[in-house]
Structure 1
Amino acid sequence: MDRVIRRKELLSIIGISRSTLYDWMASGTFPRPIRLGRRAVGWRSKDISDWLEKLPSRLSGLRQPLTRKENKHAYHGRPN
């Protein structure tokens, strides 16, 4: 049986924000979750491991989270 990964664990594994996760799902570049209950979803570990294996080829076109330094400069309007 395939293990189910909940959102909090998924975000820590991948290292992205919740909004980036939902942006990627909306654009079709990230696996959709499965419904576990009325208010609960999760992702099959197999779907996530398959996605991670193909990650280098998927990086083009994905919105990558800013590093702390890039975010600071973007906020203050200074160049990197």
Structure 2
Amino acid sequence: MKQIIGDPKANPPIYGLLPMSKSSWWDGIKKGIFPKPIKMGPNMTAWRVEDIAQLIARLGAQCTGNADA
């Protein structure tokens, strides 16, 4: 998750692809806005690279007004 949303408190700070809070990220997942995670184990959650790439493309298209993306 840190690679996706970042962690400014890390040393050195990790700059995410989609800078937002954890609560905003999980809320977006709950609402179906962001892709659902894959549970890899009791303490490990991951997301498919393809899902994150599609999310970024969709959000970028919304920002530029390109509905075809």
The TM-score, its normalising length taken from structure 2, stands at 0.68
Aligned length: 53
Structure showing greater radius of gyration is 1
Per residue, is there more helix in 1 or in 2? 1
Q: Greater RCO between the two (CA within 8 Å, min separation 6)? A: 1
Q: Which of 25, 30, 34 does residue 29 from structure 2 map onto?
A: 25
Preserved contact between residue 29 and residue 58 of structure 1 (Cα < 8 Å): no
The TM-score, its normalising length taken from structure 1, stands at 0.59
For residues 2-21 of structure 1, what are the structure 2 equivalents within 5 Å?
Answer: 7-11=1-5, 12-21=16-25
Residue segments in structure 2 that go unaligned for 5+ positions in a row = 6-15, 64-69
Q: Percent identity?
A: 28
Q: Matched residues in 1 for 2:32 and 2:20: separation? A: 16
Question: Runs ≥4 in structure 1, deviation > 2 angstroms?
Answer: 56-59
Residue segments in structure 1 that go unaligned for 5+ positions in a row = 1-6, 60-80
